[in-house]
Chain A
Amino acid sequence: MTLTVFYLLSALSVFSGLMVVLSRKAVHSVLYLVFCFFTIAGHYLMLNAQFLAAVHVIVYAGAIMVLFLFVIMMLNLNLAAEAQKTPWIKISAVILSGLMLLVLVASVKGAEELSAAQPQNDIGLVKNIGNILFDKYLLPFELISLLLLSAMVGAVLMGRKEPQPQNE
């Protein structure tokens, strides 16, 4: 049963991931990406990581993709506006990425198999994530807060068109 669900979800996520790249309309790509995120959230659920799945749906599929949609609709992208690439660029891109894939597959194939980690069924629960986040991973957690703060300062700075004199 679990295995069937796993294969179904995997097939769906690979399919939607491919469609993100292959669709010619940007809005379709975004919708496929939302779908892809939902299937990945399904994978998280199967790993018993409810919290991660919920956050993934709320933040990625919800907030970020809606922003994407807004931006794409505002820009009003269509096929004519797409940047024209010369055939040479396309050919060299295909060759380069094909080589990259070849090297990656070859090197993965030759690697020794690592022993699988012991499955921990309760690792994804909110309580455990909270415990590990504020204990072992405290430093990265605090670093992220600083990163978000400074990114916000930068975004506000660039997003504001006319610097207004402060009123208060």
Chain B
Amino acid sequence: MTDLILLKHELLLTALLLIFILMKLGKDISNSSFLKMSNALLLINFIIGFFGNQHGQMFASMFQTNELMALQKNMLNGGLLLISLSSSRWLNNHIHLPEFFMLIVATLLGMFFMISSNNLLVFYLALELATIPLAALCSFDLDKRQSSEAGMKMIMSSAFASGILLMGISLVYGVTGTLAFTEMSSLIASDHLTVFALILLFAGFAFKLSVVPFHLWTADVYEGSPVAVTSYLSVISKGAMVFVFTSVLYQVFKPMQEVMYQLIYIGAVLSMTIGNLFAMRQQNIKRFLAFSSIAQVGFILTGISGFSHTGAASATFFILVYVFSNMAAFAVAGIVSSAIGRETIDDYKGFYRTNPFLSWVLAIALFSLAGIPPTAGFFGKFFLLSAGAAKGNYVLITIAALNMIISLYYYLRIVRAMFMDKNETPIGSVNLSFNERAAIIICIAGILISGIWNGPFHTIHHSVTEAFSITPF
């Protein structure tokens, strides 16, 4: 079994899961030392992820991996490490710290298998593995009603989405007679039944990505969950779904590009517009970030709609940028929420007077999310839009550009509140621990470096995508 190295990422995470269980069962460890150990383990896991990546297939070609998938998995690994670092204050005070890591590693494992799946059965199981523990994580603030409501909504809506997805899968199986992606793509013809199955599959994906007609669970779940879980949901979970979506779409449904394009077109326009319009009205910072993430998914869909290597590469690059930017924003929101317990946007008025460092971090993160030039967000969106423009549909690109302007308004509203508005009772000054500081600095460095010096990053993504994704159309 020399090819076990193909399973490296997954085996490492399984080992981590077992280690966490053993640590929980063993002697009582104080939270702070548990946190130190788990951060070290996650760091090791992240570093090993970069070495010895190969491409190939395993398990009767139900599992496939290549350098692009390894890159995507490394990004997700890094994101998990950042979340663990930046929410160390909340984690430190939580009674069930080991369970948090068990569950979150299990979901990440599900996402890895999802990315690597080459078979609808494995894909579905991995999706469930990535979702069910996540619902438990949503209700992780066990004494808050809102949090259990979030968990309940999460499990209900994802069960519904899974139902739709399963119906799509069964129809696809009925039409093609196979579950393997590679065999499926050659057997798919665009008759009505396949189109219907495709729409059902798309709906299942759209639920998880919270594309607009299927976004109704997002805001409530994001608001109720603890901030660490919210950032995990909006960055890691969504990133993994985008990766899978791109590969399934480009690989399996290649013959049905036209139908798919219509679906993505509608989804992208609705997500951008409605996400932006609702984001303007939000008062709670987590709800605000939830709607902003819906709008960001619209931009990602715009890029994917290009159906090209550029589309896939830009989506991957954008997720990298998005990991850094959203993670920085959520880190600040999470630190403030767990130190002071305040979450509305009005509370951030006068934030600059008491916490200049954190306000600059939040400002840079929001600049990047809005797409203002020196930050990476600008290039992320620029690549996405130019990939989308390759298809020649300038209506979509115009709508996207208009939406970027709307989004500037509401992102800058928070910046104005922090720097200019006066507040009688501003948020008190917050002392940052080493972990939090490290996470924030990594995020900011990521935003600035991949923005100013983005050439190499984009080239890497481009060449890896070119080499391993998907034969050209």
What is the interface of chain A, defined by CB distance below 8 A to chain B? Answer: 103-104, 106-108, 110-112, 114, 117, 136-140, 143-144, 146-147, 149-151, 153-155, 157-158, 163, 166
Contact = CB atoms under 8 A, between A and B. Distances in A.
A157 B98 CA distance: 11
B132 A154 contact: yes
B162 interface: no
Contact of B132 (A106, A114, A147, A163): A147
Interface stretch (B71-79, B82-90, B101-109, B400-408): B101-109
Contacts of B136: 151, 153-155, 157-158
Contact of A153 (B62, B103, B121, B191): B103
A100 to B, nearest CB: 10
Nearest 4 CB-CB pairs, A to B? Answer: A154-B136, A150-B106, A111-B193, A107-B192
Interface centre among A138, A143, A157 (most CB of B within 10 A): A143
A18 B63 CA distance: 40
26 contacts: A104-B196, A108-B193, A110-B193, A111-B193, A114-B174, A136-B60, A137-B121, A138-B59, A139-B58, A139-B59, A139-B63, A143-B122, A143-B129, A146-B106, A146-B129, A147-B125, A149-B17, A150-B102, A150-B133, A151-B132, A153-B99, A154-B133, A157-B103, A157-B136, A157-B142, A166-B28
Contacts of B126: 143
B296 interface: no
Contacts of B132: 147, 150-151, 154
Interface of B: 14, 17, 21, 28, 58-60, 62-63, 95-96, 99, 102-103, 106-107, 109-110, 113, 121-122, 125-126, 128-129, 132-133, 135-137, 139-140, 142, 148, 151, 174-175, 177, 191-193, 195-196
Nearest to B197: A107
Interface centre among A104, A110, A151 (most CB of B within 10 A): A151
Contact of B191 (A112, A138, A155, A166): A112
Contact of B177 (A103, A114, A144, A147): A114
Contacts of A147: 110, 125, 128-129, 132
